[in-house]
Structure 1
């Protein structure tokens, strides 16, 4: 079985390769050395194999992609307001790539860099990247290792990093999930559960206003499982401001379970475990314009709080010299079957 293949060539002549993990008897994954992109994730559904994430055809398409499909995000996932921050008394100016703000690490970030393949075997791929001092405006030389590992029931992604100077650091992962495996099935028809008790209201430019609001009584309350369609409120000011869901949900301290997703159309369910303090929920509404005909997927991004370097009330997201960063995101899959009640899905995912 071919484990490595040429995935395309960038405009500057650099080759991009895809690395296969797993096999057709279980979970099958393809990861690119470009951006550490999760280009394919195939799992077993009730009716056969299911493509669980949205994908693009070649390397050039991923490099030009404005929607960040599947990328490893960094140095700082989500937004930093005004593309600047002050750290230890020194102001740093970042690249502004979303109006006046900095999004997902800047113009290239981690997602448009070629990562070095440190090792590749049947079930594991280890990628390494050095982000030099001053890249996108960030201080410090940052060394990052991202390890993808296929397990019997899922896929683990481990971030490890060190820096020689204090720097904001908030890596995350940006796949778009539609567990139906069918672009004709709305991603908003998936059932979602997130145990978050708070969310971050945002301004018109999607920068948090600075307060954590209670989810109770709002469309952002997914403590009990529901579809996005069921929770959506067309007159909610926050949803209107973002054209749908593009909000950070704040988790309870000490949690491990981050989110669960289920497609009643394919019978596939997914559980995400991560100890990150928040989870960005994005409904994929921008894809209608960015990739017409692709359909939508849900982004569920475990992370620190957006704009934390500028928000005194938010927990710090600063990596300092001598500190080793380590955070794992675990995606676990099950197939309780089509049209199941949520208690059956929860049992299959061991949510109790």
Structure 2
């Protein structure tokens, strides 16, 4: 009897109540999260790798390193260029790496992968991640990096989930992000300044996704009553999906695209511990001492039943 094969390797399913998530061996990618059969993240086919970096985890840096070059102790470090159009190194070093299973229960899975010394990044780290479903069927993701090197290593973390709300047209949903400021970028999307979130870029009161063309990071994030920062896609009937992040992640990057396969528009809401080009700017960058661990948590919650129903 033949078994199905997947381009992303082993598939780790976790289930709790009416919630289900699938995480892949490749890049520890969140391939699917659904609640009460309502799909809350974009997905992809068995024979595909994650299009548009959907669902992958980002380490030891999120987003971009300008021209794939940075300086360590006065010595130029050159990373592989992985964004050919702009000439940058993007989304860390684990996008094409298989993760090893550490523990897999019915409602949680823990994975890890090594980052080994290489050109452009001469450090040895382990990236650890745990996906778990809580009592409400919501998803919590905990990421961390451990430094095995003899010297302090520059590190940052991020994730690249795309949210959706079942079969709703994402273009008609309202996106809310509680960022008081945003990062002003040059033509290659490298941050050069920070500015107040004024008209046209302010998402605090919510904007319809269909009106947005965006690849932008927000910061000075205002926590919700829960104490966590919450970014939300909501429908007019009261249903919503929320990405939350703890204080370890002081940046939220929003990417709205019309190029996601099979979708008129898709929205990535990316929690980040540091912004693009942190290896050069130093903004948000952690210098992780030998033997130490750095990490934090983010997750996805949802209200999948309508609350604003007309009689």
**What TM-score bracket applies, with the shorter chain setting the length?**
0.7 to 0.9
Alignment of 1:38 onto 2:30:
yes
Question: What CA distance in whole angstroms lies between the structure 1 residues aligned with 2:100 and 2:26?
Answer: 9
Specify which structure has the higher proportion of strand. 2
- 1:198 counterpart = 2:181: yes
Partner SS state of residue 210, structure 2: helix
SS of the aligned residue for 1:328 comes to: strand
Query: Does the alignment pair 1:187 with 2:170?
Result: yes
Q: Name which of 236, 248, 257 aligns with 2:229.
A: 257
In structure 1, the gaps of 5 or more residues are 1-5, 233-243, 341-352
TM-score by length of 2: 0.87
C-alpha distance 7-328 of structure 1, shift in aligned 2 (>3 A): farther
The aligned counterpart of 1:347 is none
Equivalent-residue separation in structure 1 for 2:24 and 2:108 (angstroms): 13
The Cα of 1:82 is off from its aligned counterpart by 1.3
Say if 1:22 and 1:212 are closer, same or farther in 2 by CA, change over 3 A: same
Structure 1 residue 212 corresponds to structure 2 residue 197: no
Equivalent residue, structure 2, for 1:346: none
Q: How many residues align?
A: 299
1:132 maps onto 2:116 in alignment:
yes
Equivalents in 1 of 2:308, 2:162: separation in Å? 22
Question: Larger % of helix: which?
Answer: 1
Task: Decide whether the 8 Å contact of 1:190 with 1:263 is kept in 2.
Answer: yes
Per mean C-alpha deviation after superposition, the further-off stretch among 83-92 and 153-162 is 83-92
Q: Relative to structure 1, is the Cα distance of residues 198 and 20 closer, same or farther in structure 2, using a 3 angstrom cutoff? A: same
State how far apart, in whole Å, the 2-side matches of 1:258 and 1:90 are.
Answer: 40
Kept after mapping to 2: 8 A contact 1:40/1:55: yes
- The match for 1:144 is 127
Residue equivalent to 1:156: 140
Matches of 2:74 and 2:132 in 1, distance apart?
40
Q: Is the 8 Å Cα contact of residues 234 and 241 (structure 2) preserved in structure 1?
A: yes
Describe the superposition over 1:59-80 as per-residue Cα deviations: whole angstroms up to 9, x where unpaired: x411xx4511211122211011
The answer for the alignment partner of 1:240 in structure 2 is none
Partner of 1:269: 241
**Normalization by structure 1: what TM-score?**
0.77
CA 1:246–1:220 in 2, change beyond 3 Å: closer, same or farther?
same
Q: 2:62 aligns to what SS in structure 1?
A: coil
Q: Could you tell me how far apart the structure 2 residues matched to 1:41 and 1:319 are?
A: 32
Q: CA deviation at 1:326?
A: 1.5
Q: Is the 8 A contact 2:239 2:302 kept in 1?
A: no
